[in-house]
Structure 1
Amino acid sequence: MKLSSVCVLGAGSWGTALANLIADNGFAVSLWDINPERIRALASTRTNERYLPGLELSPGIVFESDLGRAVEGRDLILLAVPSHAFRSCLTSLRPFLPVSPPIAWGTKGLDPDSGRLLHEVALEVVGPDCRLAVLSGPTFAREVMLRLPTAITVASVERSFAPAVAELLHNDYFRVYTSEDPIGVQLGGAVKNVLAVATGVSDGMGFGANARAALITRGLAEMMRLGEAMGAEARTLMGLAGVGDLILTCTDDQSRNRRLGLGLGKEMAIEEIKAEIGQEIEGILTARLIWQLACRLRVEMPIVEQVYALLYDGVLPREAVHNLLLRDDRKPEDC
């Protein structure tokens, strides 16, 4: 399978960086956003000053505010929209799609209405004949724009599709690995957002490196338990889309989810933190969805439980830490 042109949907930081990467690689790429004023500004300035200030965009990107024109003639549709907009974006896209449309996404999260993984939403909205791939891993958009070394995973159950998508992205600064485990890749990208909130809270409260390392390690155990219950491969969660993304978002302040936790740990109000960050914070919605999923599958996820309690039940950070430290069920470390 050979792909040579792409439409990227969503002109936030990640969508812009992906479009720029694809243009860097010499492929035709259009970038669409639901906000026409944003597209006009991008086309006029050739920069995304809101999300990636000061970084010039490739002259190869074609900016489109009309969805039909944006996707016309493109070999691949690549969604980079927030998880809450994923279903509605696909629904709007459906009239313009060919038979067996090739669709990929870099969205990290679950469907807010059903709690389902995004590949299930795509199959429901677009139909069972669509070819699907998900890309995820330890990636900050600004570093991709700066052409700093980065590695990700692209996963698809269709053996030839993931390598075709990978070829659009791979170059000497952006390495792409392929996988046939989209469930594991999606779970890793979703759960790490919740765990990054937890480590941010710990650091915001001044608990130090020991606590951060413990939360990352035990958070990985929670991710692995949920993955096992959902049929993900353990090696996927031990790779870039799992532990790799987990380490990145839990340790670097470019992570919006970590910054949310830092603010909560310093007793800032959540609305104040959201206003300060000024971008989508996927961990807020994902905490509820992952906790509900864990309850439904009877998977023990105490760190996720306490993040949910912080965000939705009004539990204070010190109380959440107290609840974690005083848990009675101390098991062997590999549980």
Structure 2
Amino acid sequence: MSIAVLGAGAFGTALAISLARDGTDITLWARSEANAKQMQLERINAVRLPNTTLPHTLSVTSNIDSIGVFQTLLLAVPMQQLAIFAQKNAHVLASKTLVACCKGIDQNTGLGPVQTLKAALPDAQIAILTGPSFAHDIAIGLPTALTLACEDAQVGTHLQQTLSTSNLRLYRSSDVKGAELGGALKNIVAIACGTAIGAGLGESARAALITRGFAEMQRMAQAIGARSETLAGLSGFGDLALTCASEGSRNFRYGLALGRGEEFDPTVTVEGVATAKAALARAKTLNIDMPITAAVSALIDTKITLNEAMDSLLARPLKEETC
């Protein structure tokens, strides 16, 4: 199996562990030479997954040029760094089969992971792996189901068979737009839910935000030509349910801190922060009403207070519930 995982954060490491657990040789690329050496020697990712041992079939390197021998590359790179990473390493990534393993919308271009990679690497075959998952669950072998979306059915089928493991079940889709969108927008709703819980607004408020947030996701999906059933699946509603209900979600924890008026660890990547701003800009271009996204974006930028955000949502016109 000619597979490498690029990005030794929690999720990239977890995917590499799952793929290597069944005895398959897998290579994990880490940006930091020191981190790569530590993981290779001590057989643990002490910073990101401190309680999980790396299988003996998993090798770790920081030499990006050595990755060129692999045909299938899983890119577990943060969304806001993906474009620069692809451009910088085009000599390694060109003409490969690439699987984006990040979620969000590029704040500079408004593109999702697949479109970002296509812009930089037009000759590559590109898919996205997304859905409800926590890195720790995958790493310790707990059952997890994800969506693998690829426009090319043959490539998608091959990847589905190749990347499925004993604990990782992949469902195939051709709706790349829908899969990208669900994984991006659910993080915004998770911040909103975390904020509500952190501020003591209660479980009923969280349920309302999940439901109306999902309506916003559906509206944008319809506007860009994504399929509604994709948003109702693992990459949309499934990921939304997990992210909005657990402190295992970085976006939810960020919202908790926001609601409590506390500082949040600046070293932790919170994709929903940049995605909220990018999604709001896209919604304005498409003339879509997304009040929760607007409120989260304004809260992050401290343009409004939490009370003002709640007042604006509660003061919206009364209407029939459709979507």
- TM-score band by shorter chain is over 0.9
Unaligned 5+ runs, structure 1: none
SS at 1:132 equivalent: strand
- The AA in structure 2 aligned to 1:305 is A
Offset of 1:314 from its aligned partner?
A: 2.8
Map 1:37-56 → 2, pairs under 5 A? 37-56=34-53
Deviation at 1:285, TM superposition (A): 0.8
AA paired with 1:193? Answer: N
2:111 aligned partner? 116
Q: Is the 8 A contact 1:25 1:168 kept in 2?
A: no
- What does 1:184-195 correspond to in 2, within 5 Å? 184-195=178-189
Q: TM-score, normalized by length of structure 2?
A: 0.97
2:199 to 198, 201, 205: 205
Among residues 77, 80, 87, which one is paired with 1:84 in the alignment? Answer: 80
Please name the residue that 1:141 is paired with.
135
Using the TM superposition, give the Cα deviation of residue 313 of structure 1 relative to its aligned residue in structure 2, in angstroms.
4.0
8 A Cα contact 2:131 2:236, kept in partner: yes
Partner of 1:255: 249
1:153-192 matches, within 5 Å, as 153-192=147-186
1:190-237 alpha-carbon deviations (Å, 9 max, x no partner)? 000111000001101111111111110110000000011111110000
SS at match of 2:244: helix
**Residues 1:289 and 2:278 aligned together:** yes
1:289 & 1:302 partners in 2: Cα distance?
14
2 CA distance for matches of 1:291 and 1:274?
25
Instruction: Give the aligned length.
Output: 323
How many Å separate the matches in 1 of 2:162 and 2:15? 10
Is there any run of 5+ residues in structure 2 with no aligned partner, and where?
none
After TM superposition, the score normalised by the length of structure 1 is: 0.93
1:274 to 261, 265, 271: 265
Change (3 A) 1:313 1:264: closer
Aligned residue for 1:198, secondary structure, equals helix
C-alpha RMSD of the superposition = 1.3
Who is 1:96 aligned against? 92
Instruction: Give secondary structure in 2 for the equivalent of 1:253.
Output: coil
SS in 2 for 1:254: coil
1:222 counterpart (184, 204, 216): 216
Residue of structure 2 equivalent to 1:236 = 230
Residue 89 of structure 1: CA displacement?
1.4
Local SS of the residue matching 2:59: strand
1:196 aligns with 2:184: no
Partner of 1:331: 319
| 1:118 shift after superposition | 2.1
Look up the equivalent residue of 2:156 and give its one-letter code.
A
Deviation string, structure 1 residues 261-308 (Cα, Å, up to 9, x no partner):
11111112xxx2134xx4211111111101111111111110001000
What is the CA-CA distance between 1:28 and the residue it aligns to?
2.6
Partner SS, residue 153 of structure 2: coil
CA distance in 2, matches of 1:180, 1:317: 39
Preserved CA contact (<8 Å) 2:93 2:124: no
3-state SS, counterpart of residue 77 of structure 1:
strand
- Aligned residue for 2:31, secondary structure, equals coil
1:64-88 deviation per Cα after TM superposition (whole angstroms, max 9, x unaligned): 111011x132120110010111012
Query: What is the distance in 2 between the residues matched to 1:298 and 1:285?
Result: 20
